[in-house]
Amino acid sequence: MIPDTLVKVLDEDSRENLESLGNQHVIDQLQTFVRLCKPARVIVFGVVQTDVDRIRGLALETGEERPLKMEGHTIHFDGYNDLARDTGSTKVLTPPGMTLSKKINTIGRAEGLKEILGLMDSCMRGKAMLVKFYSLGPTNSRFSLCAMQVTDSAYVSHSEDLLYRQGFEQFRKLNGGMDFFTFLHSAGELDERKVTKNYGNRRIYIDVTDGKVYSVNNQYAGNSVGLKKLALRLAIYKANHEDWLAEHMLLMGVHPPGKERVTYFAGAYPSACGKTSTAMIPGQSIVGDDIAYLRKDKEGYCRGVNIEQGIFGIIQDVNPIDDPLIYKSLTTPRELIFSNVLVSDGVPYWLGMGRSDIPEKGTNYSGEWFKGKKDKDGNEIPFAHGNARYTMRLSELENVDPRYNDPIGVVVEGIFYGGRDSDTNVPISEALSWEHGVYLGATLESETTTAIIGKTGVRRQDPMANMDFVVVPLSTYLTNHIKFGKKLKQKPRVYATNYFLRHEGKYTNTKLDKKIWVLWAEGRVKGDYEAIKTPIGLIPQYNDLRQLFKGVFKRDYTEEEYIQQFSIRIAKYLEKIGRMEQLYKEEPNMPREFWDVLSQQKRDLQELKVRTGKDSLPPIAFV
C-alpha cells in the first residue's frame, strides 16, 4: 500500500507503475527517501519506450545536457572539481565487528549514515526525484541482479538508460522480495552552468550490509551512476559471501585470422590502461568493456556476462588510426553523451583525436574556454579534460559480439591482467598455474592517470584492477579467486599484459601491437604455440611473434625488438616483489598459495641474479 506522504508527490502514471511492481520494500524505501530529500515531485518510470525517451528529454530540459550539431549527440559538463572518481570521499560503512584491509577507505556505519543523511536532508527540494529500475546483467539470467536508482539528475538516469538493461519486469519477478540493490543520489545544489556547487561536501558512502549506496554533491558518472562502480562494490561483497566472482573486467571474443573459431577472454585493467581499447581491437568482438560477473556452469566451465549494455569510455586518444571502430561511432549519428570535451559551434573536440584544426575557443569543463586560459594556480587549462568520456550503447558498435546479451553468458577460456608499467613487465606472459594467475592479478600495478583525482605518474598497487572497489578484506577476495578456480573443470589460462613498457624514454611497441599479444594468448589456449618458461611465467617464442606480425600487420618484427621487449628484468621484478611483500605483509589470513608463488619467484630470480651477475636476461637465456 502506498502511503499518503508518497501519493501526494506522485502523478497518476507513477502511482500505477509503483503499484504494478507489487513490492512493499520498494514503496517503504521511497517513502523514507521522500521524507529525507523532500523533492517537489516523484516520477516512477516503467518499462515502456516512452519512459526511456522521456529521460533524455528531461536531461535537455533541465540543461544537464545540451544538443550538439550531430543527430542524437549531447554534451554534459561536470563541475571543474568533479571530473574523476573521488576515492577520498568514497567510503565503506562498517558496522561493529567488520574489519577491512587498511587500503580500503572506511567509516563507522553509524557515524557515516549520520553524516551522509545529514548532507542529503532536503537535497532535492524544488527538484524531481527520478526512480528507475534496472537489471545488472542480461534479463532472465541466473547471473543478474536487480537495482533501483533514485536520483534528481536526469543526466544520471539518461546515462543509465544507455549503459544498463531496463529491469522493471525483473523487479516484478521478485514477487515482492527484497533481493535488490538501491542507489540514492543527488547532484545537490547546481549553479548557472547546471553543475554541482557544493563539491566540498561530496560523499559516496557504500552500505554493503544493507545493499545501498548514498551519493551526494556530485555529477561525474564514476561517483554518481549507482549501477557502475558503486554496484560493483555491492556485488563484490555479495559474491565473496557466495561462490562467484564480480570483477572489473572486459569480456571479448578473440577471432584468430584464417580460423573459424572464437575464444572468449576476460580482462582486468585499471582506468586508462587499455581495457576498452583491448575490447575494441579490430577484428575481435566486444561483449563488454568494464564489469563482468563470472560463475561456474553445470559442466564446470567458467562463464561470464557483461552486467552492462553500454560503454562509459575514456575518449582521450581515440582516433581513426588507433581506434577506428570507436572513432566511427563517435563521429556518426546515434544516441550518445559526450562529457568534459571542448564544444565549438556544436562540434566536440577531445585530446588526441588526430585533428590539427582544434578551435582556439569554445566551451569546456571550465566554462567559456580560450587558448591560454589558466586556472587559479596559474596552470594552463587544456581544451578538453584527460578523463573526458563518451557514453553509448554497445548495440551501436559494428563489432558487438552476437552473444553480448546471452543470459547463459560465454565460456571464458582466458583472463588478461594489465597495468601501466614503464620498466618491469614484458608485453605478455602466461601464468604457470591458476594460483600463479591469481598472484599476477593480485600484484597488478599501474602508474596513475587523470581517471582518479590526485597526482599522475605514481606507481599504485591495484589488485585485479579492483582496489578501489573491494569491500571485503583482500585476503578474503584472493582466497575466493583461488577457491573459484579449484572448482572449475577447465580453468581459464591467465596472462599478464603490459602495453606501456618504455626503453630510453620511448614505448617499445605501438598501440596496435596489443592485437598480436591477444592473438598469441588465444593461440596458446588452443595449443597453437609453444612457449619459453621463465621465473615470471611463459613468454612467446620469437618466430611465433614474427609470423604473427607479418601475417597481421605485414610488418617485420625484428629480433632486436623481441629481445628489448621480452628480456626478463630481474632487478625490476625483485623490486616489485619487495613492494608486494610490503603491501600484503600485514594482511591477515592471506591464502598460502599467494606466498608460495611469491617465494618461489623470488628464489628463482635471486638465484639467476647471483649465478649470472645480470640485472636483465634475454629470452634465449631461458631456452
CB atoms within 10 A of CB 16: 12
Is residue 273 annotated as a catalytic residue, yes or no? yes
Distance CA 367, CA 78 (A): 10
Q: Cα–chain-centroid distance for residue 358?
A: 29
- The DSSP code sequence of 296-354 is E-TTSBEEEEES-SEEEEE-TT--TTT-HHHHHHHTSSSSEEEESSEEETTEEE-TTSS
Identify whether the C-beta of residue 205 lies closer than 8 Å to the C-beta of residue 93. Answer: yes
Active-site pick, 37, 123, 146, 273: 273
The SS3 call for residue 241 is coil
Distance between start and end Cα atoms, the chain: 73
74 strand-pairing partners = 67, 337
Q: What share of the chain is helix, strand, coil (3-state, %, to 5)?
A: 35, 25, 40
Cα angle 516, 520, 525; round to 5: 150
Identify whether the C-beta of residue 290 lies closer than 8 Å to the C-beta of residue 469. Answer: no
Distance CA 506, CA 401 (A): 35
User: How many residues belong to the chain?
Assistant: 623
Any residues with CB less than 8 A from the CB of 552 and at least 6 apart, and which? 257, 515, 516, 519
The C-alpha cell that represents 183 in the structure block: 542507489
CA diameter of the chain: 80
CB atoms within 10 A of CB 548: 23
Cα angle 201, 206, 209; round to 5: 145
CB atoms within 10 A of CB 283: 14
The SS3 call for residue 223 is helix
- Sign (positive/negative) of CA torsion 20, 21, 27, 33? negative
Distance CA 151, CA 45 (A): 12
Identify whether the C-beta of residue 316 lies closer than 8 Å to the C-beta of residue 388. Answer: yes
Catalytic residues: 273
